[in-house]
Amino acid sequence: MRLMGILNVTPDSFSDGGVHADPVAAGLRMVAEGAAWIDVGGESTRPGAAPVEEAEERARVIPVIRALADRGVSISIDTRHAGVAAAAIEAGARLVNDVSAGADPDMFAVVARAGVPMVLMHMRGTPATMQALAAYDDVVAEVWAELDERARLARAAGITELLFDPGIGFAKRLEHNLALLRALPGDRPVLLGVSRKRFIGELTGQDVPAERVEGSIAVAIRAREAGVAILRVHDVLATARALRVWEAVR
């Protein structure tokens, strides 16, 4: 399992918004700590977050991507906007991570033309509306079926390499998140993001995201057991250390 370090270049992300005085240094540090990828994002997708103008998002992420890519770092661009994805790829990004799984009508074409892999994440609605849409009869079946439908469209547009993400915390309540984590599929490449998320706070009684590291690591071990390909984390060093011990014991 590879680790993907989260680098939010936003003023309002739920956990690390506004904290990186020097985002390039923060990205390089996560690589030194064991991250194989750095996921650069310029728009918060936390529940209820306000959308960002595309020009503003681009101005936030492109200089950081260029600086890190020039230093040989493998960059993923976390965006819902095809224009931002295109500019990020031009600046050196090698993976597109789209929490809307290609809702922008131009997204699949941009990714296909660039020939880079894409992460399709499950969500319903938008970050502003999603929590009201967290109603499922069979969350596991519905989430993976909805992702399969997005994958069909992505492949039809010419994208050949896909990763799948059940979208923990996106239009999901606690029981939905837990059901999806229990039933992670072993038959396809999965990218998972659970780091410091609200459901961990619900289980441990922690409102402050930075107090959710231990719970995040518990899920990291579950992800490793389930064969997850890439785990998206804030706490690279702590997660890498925990996994190293788990690997040795196993």
The single-letter DSSP state of residue 137 is S
Nearer to ligand HH2, 45 or 239 (CB): 45
* 66 is a catalytic site residue: no
Q: Which residues contact 3 (CB under 8 A, 6 or more apart)?
A: 34, 35, 36, 37, 230, 231, 233, 236, 239, 240
Site string for ligand HH2, 92-111 (x = CB under 6 A): -----x-x------------
Residue at token pair 């439908």: 149
- Please tell me whether residue 13 binds ligand HH2 under the rule CB under 6 A: yes
Nearer to ligand HH2, 61 or 70 (CB): 61
* 197 is a catalytic site residue: yes
Residues 179-208 that bind ligand HH2 (CB under 6 A): 191, 193
Show the tokens assigned to 95.
């993976």
Instruction: State the greatest distance between any 2 C-alpha atoms of the chain, in Å, as a whole number.
Output: 48
Rounded distance, CA 14 to CA 201, Å?
A: 13
- Please tell me whether residue 228 binds ligand HH2 under the rule CB under 6 A: no
Nearer to ligand HH2, 6 or 139 (CB): 6
Site string for ligand HH2, 122-161 (x = CB under 6 A): ----------------------------------------
- Please tell me whether residue 165 binds ligand HH2 under the rule CB under 6 A: yes
